[in-house]
């Protein structure tokens, strides 16, 4: 198992290719990007990692966790692997980690933020409140059973029911604990990026999905509002986890952007 700076990581693609870092959302697992790795690793040296707390990384967390802390973990991992700068794709929380890394350094060359936000929408807060109630009152199994409702469109859930059941069983067996999940939800709910401090030192693409059941698409693309130079893309279908439900379209979109 590869580990650096307390984080589990994997490297895919040609060693001499430009580095591309992928960071997942609330689940924090490198495996989230499995549908995208074959395409992205053809052109890039792709780094995927488990966030601190969940997955195979160090599970010890302080009493209060912030997105800025998670960006610090990312930059420490880059230091440990001698990655001076990289392109970056982040999903939801992962996108916020990329934003904070861009604010704290000049090491993010291009940034793709997928279904993230700069101000928590009331609908998203309601979703997190419901998920926390499930976790506290009904336990991890109920929390994980409901999770696909916030991630995927109904038709995709119907067509992938067996797959989702297998994933839930694996996630339950490796559940990081209620306290860790609550700390991570608190971090994303409290997030308030100082985008006024960002200059056009990196290319940005902000993606929103119209049928996202967790983050309204206008909230997602609002990340780009203070940044006149940022690119925006609105997808008609795919749900919150659009890179999983429609990887071919997602891969084409981000590869075209990263090559521009």
Residue-wise pLDDT for 212-257, tens only, equals 999 999 999 999 988 888 999 999 999 999 999 999 999 999 999 9
Give yes or no for a contact between 74 and 97, defined as CB atoms under 8 angstroms apart.
Answer: yes
pLDDT, tens digit, 9 for 90 and up, residues 133-161: 999 999 999 999 999 999 999 999 999 99
Q: Is the pLDDT of residue 1 over 80?
A: no
Q: What is the pLDDT of residue 161?
A: 97
Give yes or no for a contact between 188 and 131, defined as CB atoms under 8 angstroms apart.
Answer: no
Domain that holds residue 15: 3-259
Alpha carbon distance 152, 241 (integer Å): 6
> 190: domain CATH number?
3.40.50.1820
Per-residue confidence band for 89, with pLDDT thresholds at 50, 70 and 90 = very high
Per-residue confidence band for 10, with pLDDT thresholds at 50, 70 and 90 = very high
Q: Which residues contact 25 (CB under 8 A, 6 or more apart)?
A: 32, 91, 92, 93, 94
Closest by CA to 61, choosing from 171, 185, 146, 144, is 185
Vertex 133, ends 127 and 139: CA angle to 5°?
120
Give yes or no for a contact between 140 and 172, defined as CB atoms under 8 angstroms apart.
Answer: yes
**What's the pTM value of the predicted model, to 2 decimals?**
0.96
Alpha carbon distance 208, 244 (integer Å): 14
- As for how many domains the chain has, the answer is 1
Half-sphere exposure of 139 toward its Cβ, with a 13 Å CA cutoff?
Answer: 2
Beta bridge partners of 108: 86
Distances (CA, A) of 67 to 118, 173, 183, 185: 12, 26, 11, 10
């Amino acid at each position: 198992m590869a580990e650096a700076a307390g984080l589990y990581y994997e490297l895919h693609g040609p060693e001499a290719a430009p580095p591309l870092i992928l960071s997942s959302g609330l689940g924090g697992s490198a495996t989230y990007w499995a549908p995208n790795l074959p395409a992205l690793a053809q052109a890039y040296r792709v780094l995927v990692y488990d966030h601190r707390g969940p997955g195979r990384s160090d599970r010890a967390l302080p009493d209060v966790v912030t997105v800025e802390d998670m960006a610090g973990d990312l930059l420490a991992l880059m230091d440990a692997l001698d990655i001076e700068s990289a392109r970056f794709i982040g999903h939801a929380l992962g996108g916020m980690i990329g934003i904070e890394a861009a604010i704290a350094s000049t090491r993010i060359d291009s940034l793709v933020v997928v279904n993230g936000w700069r101000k928590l929408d009331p609908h998203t807060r309601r979703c997190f409140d419901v998920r926390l109630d499930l976790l506290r009152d009904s336990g991890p199994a109920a929390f994980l059973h409901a999770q696909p409702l916030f991630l995927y469109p109904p038709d995709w859930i119907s067509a992938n029911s067996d797959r989702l059941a297998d994933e839930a069983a694996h996630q339950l067996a490796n559940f990081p604990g209620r306290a860790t999940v609550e700390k991570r939800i608190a971090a994303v709910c409290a997030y308030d990026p100082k985008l006024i401090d960002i200059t056009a030192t990196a290319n940005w693409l902000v993606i929103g999905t119209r049928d996202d059941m967790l983050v309204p698409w206008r909230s997602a693309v609002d990340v780009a509002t203070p940044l006149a130079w940022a690119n925006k893309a609105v997808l008609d279908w795919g749900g919150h986890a659009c890179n999983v439900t429609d990887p071919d379209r997602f891969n084409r979109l981000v590869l075209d952007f990263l090559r521009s």
